[in-house]
Amino acid sequence: MEQRLLKKYDVAVPRYTSYPTAPNFQPGVTGKTYANWLGGVSRDDSVSLYFHVPFCAAMCWYCGCHTKVVNRYQPVSDYAATLAREVDLTADALASNPGVVHVHWGGGTPTMLSVDDFSHLMDTIQSRFRFTGQTDIAVEIDPRTLTRAMAAAMARAGVTRASLGVQDFNAHVQEAINRVQPYEVTKNAVDWLREVGINAINFDLMYGLPGQTTKDVARSVDLAHSLAPNRLALFGYAHVPWMKHHQKMIDTDALADGPGRMAQFEVAAQRLSALGYQAIGLDHFARPDDALSLAADEGRLRRNFQGYTTDEGQTLLGFGVSAIGSLTGGYVQNETAIGAYGRAVNAGRLPIVRGIEMTKDDRLRRAIIEQLMCGQDADLKALTAQFGMVETFAAEQVALAPLIDDGLAEFKAGVVRITEKGRPLMRMVAAVFDRYLETGAGRHSRAV
């Protein structure tokens, strides 16, 4: 990509895993609001569940997740018990028993849970929610903490997909981010998972890490490919030490600038394409026969807090500290401090601390942004009619003009389309339709 464009668009914008985005949530949405929304979920609705485990054995210095390091198991065990109580509270608030189509365990490190605690939680969840024969269950895994016994427990619990954090396979980069994870450790994890029948494997890779070069990124892609994952996500490192203080351990002089980051991304993307993976949206890649590729081809691709997904659930229920849920009425977020979260749940209260009630305009713009992020185009006329609104998008057309002039987008007959040239900067096109947007380093990651 041209240096001029990289410099011009190297600004802070959301990743648009939701709209409105989390910085716009307000404290006026409470547990009472959530209970009312839960009461409106019907048996015919399809529901997804997200479980957040906010613990790690060691802190990776690049991490932007909501997590903490523990050196003994008791806090994890106590948290697992609280999660089970929250499952009961939420299930009790539902007026019906909708079918669960997708379950996702994230963190932190879900595999910090013991085999017994994970198995008990899955039993509890399946006893309180109606699973279908097609329920997809995914778990994020740190290969350094996975054991053969946990892999077997996940298989018994019905886990269908595993997402392994890799980031980079080069020793000097791993040392620079405090995540030493030799190739053999990742290979063992993959072998254990496939041994028990969990064959859908995702890898997370990163670019823009300290000391990382285009050669390093290409080598990581090749080593990842040697383990035959079904999908890969290629995330850019977001350096926000004012928000995540452990990132102060990273040597900023070792970080690539905007053009350097884009060069790393382009090398990785080109290599993945050459190896037969299909580009999905902004930063995902999948085998052509994978469900994610098929969903993209058929216009069924979705985007939520876990990134690109085939999850077609109409409602997302979040469990655990900081977890976010999405319902017809709007978004809710749990307490972000473990202590406050535990006190609320153990007192019998839904632990909601903030959220946002969505307007009709919010829903229209969410649909536009999701379609741009997933399929690279959005029919403004059709969507406006679908939501029963009258909206000319006059201001947005003005804001689109420079993006069109730079060859990143097109606007014809009411349809906005992101070009292939504009794919790496699709967040900039989506941001045109964000009425809440306040750019700034303290709120969002860089677009490049």
Final residue of a domain: which of 319, 342, 368?
Answer: 319
**CB contact burial 297-329 (16+ within 10 A = b; e otherwise):** eeeebbbbbbbbbbbebbbbbbbbbbbbbbbeb
Torsion-angle region of 418 (φ positive above 0: left; ψ -120 to 50: alpha; else: beta): beta
Q: Which distant-in-sequence residues (6+ apart) come within 8 Å of 244 by Cβ?
A: 63, 64
CATH number at residue 434: 1.10.10.920
Residue 196's φ and ψ, nearest 5 degrees, are: -100, 10
| Domain presence at residue 412 | yes
13 and 30 inside one domain: no
Parent domain of 38: 21-319
Between CA 198 and CA 397 the distance in angstroms is 47
Cross-strand partners of 253: none
Between CA 153 and CA 390 the distance in angstroms is 53
Residue 351 has a pLDDT of: 98
Place of tokens 């390091």: 69
Decide: 204 and 167 in contact? Cβ < 8 Å.
yes
34 and 2 inside one domain: no
| Domain presence at residue 59 | yes
Between CA 419 and CA 258 the distance in angstroms is 20
Between CA 383 and CA 357 the distance in angstroms is 20
307 and 389 inside one domain: no
Residue 8 has a pLDDT of: 86
CATH number at residue 183: 3.80.30.20
Cross-strand partners of 100: 47, 131
Between CA 390 and CA 410 the distance in angstroms is 22
Between CA 27 and CA 333 the distance in angstroms is 10
Q: Which distant-in-sequence residues (6+ apart) come within 8 Å of 92 by Cβ?
A: none
Residue 440 has a pLDDT of: 41
Place of tokens 């349809």: 415
The tally of CA atoms less than 13 A away on the side-chain side of residue 126 is 16
6 and 125 inside one domain: no
| Domain presence at residue 140 | yes
Residue 312 has a pLDDT of: 86
CA angle 412, 418, 422 (to 5 degrees): 135
258 and 382 inside one domain: no
Between CA 203 and CA 287 the distance in angstroms is 13
247 and 377 inside one domain: no
Between CA 79 and CA 87 the distance in angstroms is 12
Residue 224 has a pLDDT of: 98
Cross-strand partners of 418: 409
Closest CA to 33 of 335, 356, 267: 356
| Domain presence at residue 279 | yes
- H or E stretch covering 412: strand 409-412
| Domain presence at residue 81 | yes
Beta strands in 26-129 (DSSP E): 46-53, 55-56, 68-69, 99-107
| Domain presence at residue 339 | no
Decide: 444 and 425 in contact? Cβ < 8 Å.
no
Residue 237 has a pLDDT of: 93
Residue 443 has a pLDDT of: 55
Q: Radius of gyration over alpha carbons of the chain, in Å?
A: 21
379 and 310 inside one domain: no
Closest CA to 163 of 240, 260, 222, 235: 235
258 and 204 inside one domain: yes
Closest CA to 281 of 260, 261, 302: 302
Residue 64 has a pLDDT of: 82
Residue type, 280: I
- Hey, is 284 helix, strand or coil? strand
Between CA 291 and CA 278 the distance in angstroms is 12
111 and 85 inside one domain: yes
Structure tokens at 147: 């054991």
Residue 90 has a pLDDT of: 98
284 and 389 inside one domain: no
| Domain presence at residue 414 | yes
29 and 5 inside one domain: no
Instruction: Give the count of domains, the chain.
Output: 2
- H or E stretch covering 302: strand 302-304
Final residue of a domain: which of 319, 347, 372?
Answer: 319
Tens of pLDDT, residue by residue, the chain (448 residues): 788 887 888 888 899 999 999 999 999 999 999 999 999 999 999 999 999 999 999 999 998 888 889 999 999 999 999 999 999 999 999 989 999 999 999 999 999 999 999 999 999 999 999 998 889 999 999 999 999 999 999 999 999 999 999 999 999 999 999 999 999 999 999 999 999 999 999 999 999 999 999 999 999 999 999 999 999 999 999 888 888 899 999 999 999 998 899 999 999 999 999 999 999 999 999 999 999 999 999 999 999 988 899 998 889 999 999 999 999 999 999 999 999 999 999 999 999 999 999 999 999 999 999 999 999 999 999 999 999 999 999 999 999 999 999 999 999 999 999 999 999 999 999 999 999 986 444 455 555 5
Final residue of a domain: which of 263, 290, 319?
Answer: 319
Residue 439 has a pLDDT of: 46
94 and 107 inside one domain: yes
Closest CA to 282 of 430, 443, 428, 427: 427
Residue 289 has a pLDDT of: 97
Residue 66 has a pLDDT of: 80
Q: What is the pTM of this model?
A: 0.94
| Domain presence at residue 353 | no
Residue 448 has a pLDDT of: 59
